Amino acid sequence: MNNNNIRTKRLLLREWKDSDIPFFIEMNKDSRVMRYFPKILTEAREYSKTLLYIQSSLKN
């Protein structure tokens, strides 16, 4: 078991994987998920923003 994981009955928090990106993009295309955001992003823009976010998070 990875010591960096946090698990509850309903949730698993773990480090990002490259394989998470397509699922993250699909989730952010859903109007219900993005209800309180200004707009739903395009796939290309979302992909680039996701990569930048992951890279900046890993630096900290």
Q: Per residue in 13-33, pLDDT tens?
A: 998 787 887 888 788 788 898
Average pLDDT taken over every residue of the chain: 80
Q: What amino acid occupies position 47?
A: Y
Rounded to 10 degrees, what is the CA torsion of 15, 60, 44, 14? 10
Is pLDDT of 10 > 90?
yes
CA distance 53 to 35: 20
pTM, 2 dp: 0.53
Q: Which residues contact 46 (CB under 8 A, 6 or more apart)?
A: 24, 25, 28, 29
Is the pLDDT confidence value at 50 over 90? no
- Report the pLDDT averaged over residues 37-44: 72
